[in-house]
Amino acid sequence: MAGKRADAKEEPLNLLPVMNLVSILIPFLLMAAQFVTLAVIDSTLPAIGPPVEVETPPDKPPLMLSVAVTNEGFTVMGADAVLNPQGAPPSADAGPTVPCAERPCSTPQSYDYKSLTDLLNQIKDQYPDDETVILVPESRIPYEVLILLMDATREDVNKKDDKGKSRLLFPNVVIAGGAG
Amino acid sequence: MKKPRRISLSEDLNITSMMDMFTIILVFLLKSYSTEDISVAASAEMQLPLSTSAVKPKLAVNVVVSKVGIIVDGVPLMALTKKPDESGREWIAVPDEEKKGQMITRLYDRLLEKAEQAKRIAEATASEEHAFKGEILMQCDKELPFSVIREVMYTAGQAQFSNFRFVVYSTTS
């Protein structure tokens, strides 16, 4: 049959309109592409004003958890019930609660964030309703340490619940004026 | 003698392989397409830290503190300087003539202007969405000492911005 023979001859597909479309789409998508994901960490300044009366059960004093950052490590304050179960007051020259592997800490990565998160996990077990941590960094502490510290105090990525969510520790970060 | 085959000049260009490449590029770019509210101009003076946070950024007054200066909403405001400490090591700092105590005066004036502007918009629109919440996006270089961050935060606090959002590169996708 004549018709069948005509079908058998392959016509090259005209790809030019597709090419036109793609060459317009590619610059447009390149402009709008983002190769890094941005995120934010919320934080507030310490509230200024008259103290707010908070109803707390008398048998449980409020936890005023603070983490001071020096160039020697992290000092956790305000959780003596967990840190010193015997009630012994910490001496002033005891050094940081979570010291760096080598002192003074040379890089942001030399701080021991893992041990701090473990310690905060224990504190969270005792105070499950508390969500605020006050950070008190020294003047010379790099900003990167502050961010990594906020990560360490916010959640424990190694402890996941059934839904695969990390355990929340103290997500409300307040940055205090700073020591020195 | 056999005649050599004449080469046709009007042969069609084979663009199939190019089409294959374009299809792959197109899919990749479509995947990385994003319409985020804020953008970051990365440079040697401005490297954001990495974090495990996954909170999406929202539009707010944008303060960029790089190693060399402060930029508010895309407009350069002032330059930063370097000061040696007791041991001779140099630290990035806000110039003394720009400060009044802890407050950076020029930054305070600009932020106060932004706050007034945001309040006027909030009044005019009277919608909850545009209400002035004192939110400020902070993009800071990861090597900046906390003293500079503290002065910027203190100044922003004085200019009625007290909710800080530190912009970071997210390591969780």
Residue of A38, A109, A139 to mutate when probing chain B, most B C-beta within 10 A: A38
Mean pLDDT, to the nearest integer, of B35-52? Answer: 80
Cα distances (angstroms) measured from residue A158 to each of A86, A127, A129, B138: 29, 20, 21, 28
Largest CA distance in chain B: 100
* Per-residue pLDDT, B5: 62
Sequence-ordered list of residues with C-beta below 8 angstroms from that of A48, at least 6 positions apart, any chain: none
Q: How many residues does chain B have?
A: 173
Yes or no, beta carbons of A37 and B140 under 8 Å apart: no
What is the DSSP secondary structure assignment for residue B115, as one 8-state letter? H
Distance between CA atoms of residues B122 and B58, nearest Å: 17
Residue with tokens 């806000």: B94
Of A15, A35, A177, the CB nearest to B15: A15
ipTM score over 0.85, yes or no: no
Sequence-ordered list of residues with C-beta below 8 angstroms from that of B112, at least 6 positions apart, any chain: B159, B160
Distance between CA atoms of residues B107 and B17, nearest Å: 55
Tell me how close the Cα of A18 comes to any Cα of chain B, in angstroms.
9
Mean pLDDT, to the nearest integer, of B71-95? Answer: 86
Contacts of A140 in chain B (CB under 8 A): 85, 91, 145-147
Q: Is the Cβ of A21 closer than 8 Å to some Cβ of chain B? A: no
What is the DSSP secondary structure assignment for residue A97, as one 8-state letter? S
Q: Is the Cβ of A36 closer than 8 Å to some Cβ of chain B? A: yes
* Per-residue pLDDT, A180: 47
Chain B nearest-CA residue for A30: B29
Is A16 a residue whose pLDDT tops 70? yes
Q: Convert the pLDDT of each residue in A58-100 to its tens digit.
A: 566 667 888 888 888 888 887 665 566 555 555 555 677 778 8
Question: pTM for this one?
Answer: 0.80
Sign of CA dihedral A52, A54, A59, A61: negative
Average pLDDT, chain A: 77
- Beta strands B163-170 and B135-140, pairing class: parallel
Distance between CA atoms of residues A144 and A107, nearest Å: 10
Distance between CA atoms of residues B18 and A22, nearest Å: 11
Distance between CA atoms of residues B73 and A75, nearest Å: 36
